[in-house]
Each structure stands twice: as C-alpha cells, then as structure tokens.
C-alpha cells in the first residue's frame, strides 16, 4: 500500500502568465503558497491484474486503453504501468471536474505520479514530478493550462517561481521571519463562492487573448517581485492594494473570469474594510481570497456570511509519500 499527500495551492500574483505562449516570448514570475489542504492518492497492487480506479465514480478495466479518467490514463502511460493496480483518490476540498481554483488537478496528477513511481520503487525529485505532471496534463491530456500549479504541488511552500523563455523553471523559496509569516496568514480570509466553473473554457479564452493582452500580462508578472518585496517587509496594506490592482487586471483577460455574483462579493468585502482580494485560479467561481486588516475581518465575515468560510494554514512541504508498506 502506498499513499501520497500533495498540497493544494493559493496563487497571489502572476497567475495567467505561466502559459508557454507567453513565457516563450517573455520570462514571467508567479508568487504562490501551498496550504494545509491536500489531495491523497492511495495505490495498491491488484492481484488479478486488472486496473481499478475509484474517484467520483469507479472504473474496473483490463487495460490502460479502456480507462475513462484522462489524467489516470495518461499517468499510467507515462510511467509504463499496464496492469495490476488499484487507485483511489480523496481530497480535503471539493475537487469537481470543472475545478475550483486551488490547483486540484495538478495536485492530483503530481500525487498520482509520486505514488506510481513509488510503486515502481523509484523516488523522484520535485522538479522531475512537476515536469512529468506538466507533460501528463498539457501534452498527453491536452488541458489548456499553465505550469505553475504542478511546480507548487511538487515543491510546496511559499515561492517565487520563474518561467524562463527556454522552458526552464526556477523555484525560489521566500524566507520570512516567523512573525511576518504568521501575520501574513492572519490577514487572509478564504471563502467558497458556492459556484463551480468551466475552468478549461475560461483558460482557453485566456490563451487566445495572450497576444492581445500581452502588456497586461507583463504588468501582472512584474507584480510578483513587488509583492515579494512588500511581504519581506511586512507591508500588508500595500500587498492588499497590489492584490486589488492584480484582480482588476485579471478580470480584463477574458470573458467569464468574473460575474455579477463575484463582483457583489468583492464589493461587499471592500465596503466592509478589505484592502483587496481575488478569485483563485481561472475565475468564474471556486474560492475567493480576501486580504484585510484584523480589525475589519469580523465585519467582512458578517457581510459574506452566505458563503462558507474556509480555515487554512500555510504548508511548507510539497508532494510526499506518507505511507509505504
């Protein structure tokens, strides 16, 4: 029996620039952190040689070609495992097929690959897992996504990630004092919008608009180093205002990133004293992040009491094998 644990991520600034169509023209940066919400993949040897996959449905097949779950099929093809495996997945947060903005599909893929390689007796590095996950999701499965989520899930922690024009990726941990890190976390509030969204539809529109929105994307990428500088100094109000600017830019990238419900949530948060915020991930629904002074948080929570409050803490580790017997 093998179990992998892989964190979900929270992206602050720079998201949307990690598409190959953009960073091949201009290197870009994303600043994100992982949190203590995880995807778990359980994997065991299956004696009779078939393949069983348990997620929101159950598949029992005799060869990889018959698998309906696109990512599982692609991961098994990538690792060369053809039969005799039982796979089950669980998540601390809902992981609908449409996605909810926390990098769940990439956490699933990284965690699955980590477990599959452990099944083969191989211990792979975070960079290896991240690149393999990108290959599985983007090349094999054809998902219209960038590369930040795979690296966040594989490496874990608070990082400034750079995507270079030659395809290389640099992951640089941001080292904060214990007090600044705790204070930063305490200024953040996370809500569930109660809405799913078609992430791939929104992301496809974003990809089509890259050249038209190139200057906006460049500004969004440049915000990552500014965010890092503010964060290291504990200038949380400036960070909140930067998040606000980034959200205004993000909304302009493609149709569907925002909607009247999200705009209403954001307006209520601002009117209740928030400095800024954003929808995580592609937009259109999922999770809504707010940054606010401590003394205003009670009023923000009252204003948004129709939406589920999600407690969380930052996590420092990426995908790991937590059980191998």
Tokens 């348990």: give the residue. 54
Same domain, 269 and 210: yes
Same domain, 56 and 41: yes
Same domain, 191 and 302: yes
Cα 106 to Cα 137, 224, 273: the distances in Å are 8, 21, 34
Query: Tell me, what DSSP letter sits at residue 184?
Result: H
Whether the CB-CB separation of 29 and 161 falls below 8 Å is answered with yes
What average pLDDT does the structure give for the chain?
94
Same domain, 167 and 203: no
Same domain, 149 and 293: no
Domain carrying residue 149 = 2-176+315-324
Residue 257 CB-density burial (10 A; 0-12 exposed, 13-18 middle, 19+ buried)? buried
In the prediction, which pLDDT does 199 show?
66
Q: How confident is the model at residue 151 (pLDDT cuts 50, 70, 90)?
A: very high
The structure's pTM equals 0.95
Whether the CB-CB separation of 71 and 108 falls below 8 Å is answered with yes
Same domain, 158 and 186: no
Residue 63 has pLDDT above 70, yes or no: yes
Q: Residue ranges of the alpha helices (H) in 69-134?
A: 70-79, 104-119, 126-134
- As for how many domains the chain has, the answer is 2
Same domain, 241 and 290: yes
In the prediction, which pLDDT does 305 show?
97
Maximum CA extent, the chain: 61
How confident is the model over 248-276, as pLDDT tens digits? 999 888 888 888 999 999 999 999 999 99
């Amino acid at each position: 029996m093998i179990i992998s644990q892989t964190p979900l991520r929270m992206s602050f600034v720079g998201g949307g620039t990690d598409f190959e169509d953009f960073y091949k023209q201009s290197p870009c940066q994303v600043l994100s952190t992982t949190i203590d919400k995880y995807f778990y993949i359980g994997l065991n040897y299956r004696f009779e040689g078939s393949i069983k996959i348990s997620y929101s449905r159950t598949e029992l097949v005799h060869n990889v070609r018959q698998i309906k779950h696109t990512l599982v099929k692609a991961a098994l093809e990538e690792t060369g495992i053809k039969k005799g495996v039982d796979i089950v997945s669980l998540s601390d947060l809902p992981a609908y097929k449409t996605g909810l903005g926390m990098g769940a599909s990439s956490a699933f893929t990284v965690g699955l690959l980590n477990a599959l390689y452990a099944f083969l007796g191989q211990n792979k590095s975070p960079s290896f897992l991240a690149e393999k996950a990108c290959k599985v999701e983007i090349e094999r499965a054809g998902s219209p996504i960038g590369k930040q989520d795979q690296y966040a899930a594989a490496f874990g922690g608070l990082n400034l990630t750079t995507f270079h024009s030659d395809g290389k990726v640099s992951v640089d941990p941001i080292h904060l004092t214990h007090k600044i890190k705790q204070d930063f976390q305490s200024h953040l509030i996370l809500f569930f919008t109660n809405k799913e969204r078609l992430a791939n539809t929104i992301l496809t529109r974003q990809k089509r608009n890259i050249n038209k929105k190139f200057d906006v994307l460049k500004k969004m990428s440049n915000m990552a180093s500014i965010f890092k500088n503010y964060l290291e100094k504990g200038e949380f109000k400036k960070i909140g205002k930067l998040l606000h600017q980034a959200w205004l830019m993000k909304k302009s990238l493609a149709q569907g990133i925002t909607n009247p419900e999200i705009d209403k949530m954001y307006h209520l948060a601002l009117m209740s004293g928030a400095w800024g915020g954003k929808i995580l991930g592609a937009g259109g629904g999922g999770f809504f992040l707010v940054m606010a002074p401590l003394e205003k948080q009670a009023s923000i929570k009252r204003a948004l009491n129709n939406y589920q409050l999600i407690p969380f803490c930052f996590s420092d580790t990426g995908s790991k094998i937590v059980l191998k017997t």
